[in-house]
Amino acid sequence: MLMTPRLVLFIMPALIGLASVIVFRKIRGASFAAAVGAPLGVYLWVKMVAPADTWSPLAALLVSPLVIAVAVTTVLLCAGRSQVRRRRAWEDA
């Protein structure tokens, strides 16, 4: 019973982010898929586990920022560092 919140809030979004990296090779598509798929996955999980409306869709909406952050962070960590090059201070002089 204690594993269910960890599963829903951390493990499942990380797996959704990992799956979106595998399916979509570009970072933009993978992060969008993770940002849309993670809250949808949490909502479907809550509806499947508690079908008697003991949990409302509002609960899934309230935890969705955390779930999106975990999923998109997983995508960015799997994708590696950004391709944007920073300008050095001594080049500006």
CA distance readout (Å), 63 to 4, 5, 12:
14, 11, 13
In a domain, 35, yes or no: yes
- DSSP conformational letter for 51: T
For the chain, the domain total comes to 1
Continuous H helices in the chain: 3-6, 12-23, 27-49, 57-79, 89-92
pLDDT of res. 60: 83
In the numeric block, the tokens 């998109």 are attached to: 72
Give the pLDDT band of residue 81 (cuts 50, 70, 90).
low
Task: Give this prediction's pTM.
Answer: 0.77
Question: What domain range includes position 27?
Answer: 16-76
In a domain, 49, yes or no: yes
In a domain, 7, yes or no: no
In a domain, 2, yes or no: no
| Tens-digit pLDDT profile for residues 23-77 | 998 889 999 999 999 999 988 888 888 777 776 778 888 999 999 999 999 999 9
